[in-house]
Amino acid sequence: MSTTLKEYLGQNNTNINESLKSVIMSIAHGAIIVQNKVSRISLDDISGSTGEINVQGEEVQKLDDKANNIFIDEFRENGKIAIIGSEETENGVILNKESGEYLVNMDPLDGSSNIDVAVSVGSIFGIWPRQDDSCLNDNSLLLEGRKQDAAVYIVYGSSTLMVVATESGVQSYTLDLEKKEFIITDANLKIPNKSKYFSVNYGNWDNFSIKTQEIIKDLQGKYSLRYIGSLIADFHRNLLKGGVFIYPADNKSPNGKLRLMYEANPLAFIIEKAGGIGVTGKENILDISPGSLHQRTPLILGNKDIVKNMFE
Ligand code: AHM
Ligand code: MG
């Protein structure tokens, strides 16, 4: 008998409160709508860019925009979310100033440069309990990763998966397209002890520092190289098979490319709950005290052993 996401969250051993359950269910509902758009991109004229440039200075893809609106609408309807930070909006979007209990930082469509070529993309969410502040503004979103109550990502790939991490562990659910329900397919996801892969954009080699080049040279020959260029797809493969993902600082991106609040923090939370670790190279991602919503960070995510060896 298959257990749906709703049924699984309803079981006593998950230790998740009702409000958090409803936030997770809203993400699942939004993801089913986004999955449909992703699969129909060429049929519904939603490929390509909107012509706008987002706060990151990157082209906004039509689907970036749609996914952003889909999840914001879900969260607005939910009522439990006070404010959202999104890759696609310059400032936080206030939803429920009075009684919102959670703050969500999200990348509504990660890997969007891969959408038009039918390569896996994803959505990423970090969920924090609202702190004791009466005035709600962008600063309310700037909490350390370790304070997250939960983090979630979706992979829109050959199948659509939703991975949910809370204090009690990490579960993976697969979307049953016929029933339009996420079904639990792994109740206790752990990164394997033995690693298979390392993932880095070798095209940036000349911009890497000597130290970064040495670290990467050390991985060559020990592990197979896999790099998709969709963070979620690279992360998910390495989480299941064992490995390390590296997006370091370089000459072109002195603070790294990926964003702390809605890419690094949720994935570092998930990998830690699965037995791995997320670091910048100098500190644990989850301990960084954030300075701004769209802050970038060097990012290394993987098995504890490989990551520790990289800096010895
Ligand atoms: P996005 O959030 O705008 O889609 O960009 C982030 C993406 C990640 O999915 C991926 O890991 C990275 O950018 C790839 O960057 P690069 O093409 O420089 O290797
Ligand atoms: Mg992204």
Residues with CB under 5 A from ligand 2 (ion): 107, 110
Of 258, 239, 233, nearest to 248 by C-alpha is 258
State yes or no: pLDDT of 104 exceeds 90.
Answer: yes
pLDDT at residue number 81: 97
Same-domain status, 225 and 266: yes
* Lookup: tokens for 90: 């310059």
Instruction: Examine the domain organization and report whether 152 and 224 are in the same domain.
Output: no
Tokens of 237: 């493969």
Domain-terminating residue out of 152, 186, 220: 186
Residue 30 domain-assigned (yes or no)? yes
Asked whether residue 89 falls in the same domain as residue 202, the answer is no
> What's residue 167's pLDDT?
93
Together in a domain, 118 and 20: yes
Of residues 13 and 182, the one with the higher pLDDT is 182
Domain end position, chosen among 165, 186, 207: 186
Any atom of ligand 1 within 6 Å of the Cβ of 205: no
Q: Are 231 and 165 in a shared domain?
A: no
Judge whether residue 3 has pLDDT over 80: yes
At 149, the pLDDT band (50, 70, 90 cuts) reads: very high
Q: What is the pLDDT of residue 45?
A: 83
Q: How many angstroms is it from 305 CA to the middle of ligand 2?
A: 26
58 lines ligand 1 (CB under 6 A): yes
Are the C-beta atoms of residues 84 and 77 closer than 8 Å to each other? no
Which of 110, 228, 252, 295 for mutating ligand 1's site (highest number of atoms within 8 Å of CB)? 110
296 CB under 6 A from ligand 1? no
CA 88 to ligand 1 center in whole angstroms: 14
Counting residues of the chain whose pLDDT is more than 90, the rounded percentage is 85
- The CATH number given to whatever domain includes residue 122 is 3.30.540.10
Q: Are residues 232 and 91 in the same domain?
A: no
Within a domain: residue 192? no
229 touches ligand 1 (CB under 6 Å)? yes
- CATH number of the CATH domain containing 214: 3.40.190.80
Q: According to the model, what pLDDT value does residue 274 have?
A: 98
* Alpha carbon distance 233, 255 (integer Å): 22
Residue numbers of the domain that contains 48: 5-186
| pLDDT for the residue numbered 55 | 77
At residue 138, does pLDDT exceed 80? yes
Our count of domains for the chain comes to 2
* 170 in a structural domain: yes
Is 270 inside any structural domain?
yes
| Residues 151 and 222 reside in one and the same domain | no
Alpha helices in 164-209 (DSSP H): none
> Whose C-alpha lies nearest to ligand 1, atom 17?
229
Q: Is residue 191 part of a domain?
A: no
The pLDDT-based confidence of 116 (bands split at 50, 70, 90) is: confident
202 and 181 co-located in one domain: no
Q: What is the pLDDT of residue 229?
A: 96
Q: Find out whether the beta carbon of 170 lies less than 6 Å from any atom of ligand 1.
A: no
Tell me the HSE value of 198 on the side-chain side, using a 13 A CA sphere: 19
* CA of 111, nearest ligand number: 1
pLDDT single digits (tens) 188-217: 999 999 999 999 999 999 999 999 999 999
- Please identify, among 139, 156, 186, the residue that sits at the C-terminal boundary of a domain: 186
User: Is the beta carbon of 111 within 6 A of some atom in ligand 1?
Assistant: yes
> Does 87 fall in a domain?
yes
* Residue nearest ligand 1's atom 11 by CA: 231
**53 ligand 1 Cβ < 6 A:** no
Q: What is the mean pLDDT of residues 158-178?
A: 97
Work out the pLDDT band at 46, boundaries 50, 70, 90.
confident
Q: Does residue 107 line the site of ligand 1, with CB under 6 A?
A: yes
> Are residue 12 and residue 125 in the same domain, yes or no?
yes
- Rounded Cα distance between 99 and 59, Å, is 35
Chain segment 223-265, per-residue pLDDT in tens:
999 999 999 999 999 999 999 999 999 999 999 999 999 999 9
Do the beta carbons of residue 72 and residue 86 sit within 8 Å?
Answer: yes
Q: Which ligand is in closest contact with the Cα of 230? A: 1
Q: Same domain, yes or no, for 180 and 42?
A: yes
Same domain, residue pair 235 and 158: no
Q: Which atom of ligand 1 is nearest to the CA of 227?
A: 19
Residue with tokens 């690693």, as numbered in its chain: 195
Residue 290 lies in a domain: yes
What confidence score (pLDDT) does residue 57 get? 81
Domain-embedded: residue 46: yes
End-to-end CA gap in the chain: 48
Atom 14 of ligand 1: nearest residue by CA position: 229
Answer whether 29 contacts ligand 1 (Cβ < 6 A): no
**Could you tell me the pTM of the whole model?**
0.96
Question: Is the domain of 115 the same as that of 201?
Answer: no
